[in-house]
Structure 1
Amino acid sequence: MERVGLMKASSSYKFSVRFGAVVGLLGLIFCVAVGETKIGIFLCVGLLLGWLNTAMVVSATAKFAAENAGEENPNKKKFMAAVVKRLALVTLIAGYIMFAFRPDGLAVLFGLAFFQFTIIGSSAGVLYREVRSG
């Protein structure tokens, strides 16, 4: 049963990555066409940061699960410290770009938020279908 859930989560992640890539490419093409190339590039950078954040979440979660398999009360402090470091890094990168290249740099925030909403939405869709079917 766990394997089916992992496969569904994996398909949700793959969908979000592909959808984000398509949106980034279309956004870049549109922005170049209207003469706002920097905004299109920053949008793609934001999508890339969203993907990087999510990839690090998946990696950290898998590592935590493997290290704590079978333990009833795993130590979560190390895991939480890694979460804070990752979020701080992504926030610092996005914040630097936003302020160093304002106003166009704000597109980084839109790309990052779009990717995060996509991953949450696709995961919620999988969860909803799982709850309805079972």
Structure 2
Amino acid sequence: MGEGGVGMDVNSLQVRRAAIIAAVLAALILMAAGSLDRLLLGIFICGGLAIGWLNAKLTLRAVTKIADAETPKKMRLLRSSAIRLLGITVGALALAFLARPNGVGIFFGLALFQVILVINTVLPELKGLRQSL
């Protein structure tokens, strides 16, 4: 397995760890939303977390597939990302509009998953950087 394969394993682990954190948060969100009589909002937030996880998995798969190709093309990755993000955006907007006011929770879930993923990626890097100093 080459250097790219090792990086993909680390990224896969980070996505998996982010999914576990998101699942724990989803359970807490559902409990809090239920106790506040806003269960539907909690469900939409959890849906956003799930869509964020799916996006991360699909992104990782696309990057791996393109990087493993004999002639990786940036345009292929750009097209793949644009189509995926357009689909998520249109779907989230439609859900938020059709299920308003609770549907806006889908955006909170998507944003929350991105924060989880970024923190989950940055913290190990900061630890490594601090140890190397």
Q: CA deviation at 1:34?
A: 1.8
Q: Does the 8 A contact of 2:15 with 2:53 survive in 1?
A: no
CA displacement at 1:76 relative to structure 2: 1.2
Letter in 1 for 2:108: F
Following superposition, the deviation at residue 82 of structure 1 comes to: 0.6
Identity among equivalent positions (%) equals: 29
| 1:17 aligned partner | 19
Alignment: residue pair count: 130
**One-letter amino acid matched to 1:108:** I
Deviation at residue 129 of structure 1 after TM alignment: 2.4
State how 1:117-132 maps to structure 2 within 5 Å. Answer: 117-132=115-130
1:61 aligns with: 63
Residue 30 of structure 1 aligns with which residue? Answer: 32
Which letter does structure 2 place at the counterpart of 1:60? A
| Deviation digits for residues 62-92 of structure 1 (CA, Å, limit 9, x no counterpart) | 1011114xx5xx4211111111000001111
Aligned equivalents of 2:35, 2:79: Cα separation in 1: 43
**Corresponding residue number in structure 1 for 2:111:** 113
Alpha-carbon displacement from aligned partner over 1:9-56 (angstroms, at most 9, x marks no partner): 333222210000111111112211221111011011100110111011
Q: Over the residues paired in the alignment, what is the CA RMSD in angstroms? A: 1.9
Q: Does 1:75 align with 2:73?
A: yes
Q: TM-score, normalised by structure 2?
A: 0.87
Give unmatched runs, 5+ long, in structure 1. none
Distance 1:133 1:64, change over 3 A: farther
